[in-house]
C-alpha cells in the first residue's frame, strides 16, 4: 500500500481503505464471512489476481482474518475491519442521496442487482412456505442481454438465486424494465408509480404477491433503502 507520508489519522485510514475496490470488498464482508468466490461475486469486474492482492493487503493491515477450510479459506472482518462498517454505511447514504444521477445505462448489471437483493432479505421475514419468484427483465445493457431471466427461491433457511430454471413451480412473476426496477429497489421511485406506468408488472396469487412485496420490502411510495448489515457475531 502506498502511503501519504503523514501521521494524520485520516491519511492512515485512507492508506488502507481508500484504494480502488477495497471499500467494495469490505462491503461484501460486512454481510458476514465469505469464501473467495462469494466475495468475487460481489465485485465481478475486479480481476481475481487483484482481489487476491487486496485481500492479502487487508490481512496484513489486520482488517480481515482468514480461516483455512478443506478447500480455500474463509475471510472475515476483524474488530478493526468491522469498524469500517460505519464508513461503508455513510458511503451508501451519500450515494443514495447524491450519486443516483451518475448511474449510466451500462452499469445496470442484473447480476449485481440479484446478488444485492439476496443479501438484503431478512430470512425471519420470509413466509414459512417456500416461494419461487421469476424475474423477467427488459431494457438490459447489451453486455448483459443473456441475463434477462432469473429465479429466486425464498426459504427461511436461505435465499437461492438461479440464472438457470431450477425446475420448480413459480409462484410470482415480476416483469420489469431493468432501470425502473433498480430505481424502485433503491427506493428512488415507488412501486405503485412503476406499476401504474407499466414499467413493472406482478403476476401470481394475490397472497403470494403480497408476500413478495413484504419479503423484498418494496414500498408503494419512494423510500430510500438503507444498507443493513447483520449484527456482528
What's the whole-model pTM score?
Answer: 0.86
Which set of grid coordinates corresponds to residue 164? 438457470
- From first to last of its 233 residues, what are the pLDDT tens digits of the chain? 678 889 899 999 999 999 999 999 999 999 999 999 999 988 988 999 999 999 999 999 999 999 999 989 999 999 999 999 999 999 999 999 888 778 889 999 999 999 889 988 888 888 888 999 999 999 999 999 999 999 999 998 889 999 999 999 999 999 999 999 999 999 999 999 999 999 999 999 999 999 889 889 998 999 998 888 877 65
* Separation of first and last alpha carbons in the chain: 29
9-98 to CATH, choices 1.10.760.10, 3.60.15.10, 1.10.10.10, 3.30.110.30: 1.10.10.10
d(CA 214, CA 18): 36
CATH architecture of residue range(s) 103-216: 2-Layer Sandwich (3.30)
Cα 119 from Cα 115, distance rounded (Å):
7
Which residue spans of the chain are classified as CATH 1.10.10.10?
9-98
Amino acid at each position: 500500500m502506498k502511503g501519504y507520508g503523514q501521521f494524520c489519522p485520516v491519511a492512515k485510514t485512507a492508506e488502507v481503505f481508500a484504494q480502488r475496490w477495497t471499500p467494495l470488498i469490505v462491503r461484501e464482508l460486512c454481510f458476514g464471512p465469505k469464501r473467495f468466490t462469494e466475495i468475487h461475486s460481489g465485485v465481478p469486474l475486479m480481476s481475481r489476481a487483484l482481489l487476491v492482492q487486496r485481500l492479502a493487503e487487508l490481512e496484513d493491515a489486520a482488517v480481515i482474518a482468514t480461516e483455512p477450510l478443506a478447500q480455500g479459506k474463509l475471510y472475515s472482518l476483524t474488530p478493526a475491519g468491522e469498524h469500517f462498517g460505519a464508513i461503508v454505511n455513510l458511503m451508501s447514504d451519500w450515494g443514495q442521496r447524491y450519486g443516483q444521477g451518475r448511474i449510466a445505462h451500462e452499469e445496470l448489471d442484473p447480476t449485481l442487482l440479484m446478488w444485492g437483493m439476496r443479501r438484503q432479505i431478512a430470512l425471519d421475514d420470509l413466509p414459512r412456505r417456500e416461494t419461487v419468484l421469476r424475474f423477467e427483465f427488459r431494457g438490459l445493457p447489451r453486455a448483459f442481454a443473456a441475463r434477462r431471466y432469473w429465479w429466486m427461491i425464498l426459504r427461511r433457511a436461505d435465499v437461492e438465486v438461479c440464472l438457470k430454471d431450477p425446475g420448480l413451480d413459480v409462484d410470482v412473476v415480476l416483469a420489469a424494465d431493468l432501470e425502473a426496477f433498480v430505481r424502485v429497489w433503491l427506493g428512488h421511485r415507488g412501486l405503485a408509480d412503476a406499476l401504474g406506468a407499466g414499467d413493472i408488472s406482478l403476476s401470481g396469487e394475490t397472497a403470494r404477491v403480497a408476500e413478495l412485496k413484504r419479503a423484498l420490502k418494496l414500498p408503494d411510495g419512494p423510500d430510500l433503502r438503507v444498507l443493513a448489515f447483520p449484527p456482528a457475531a
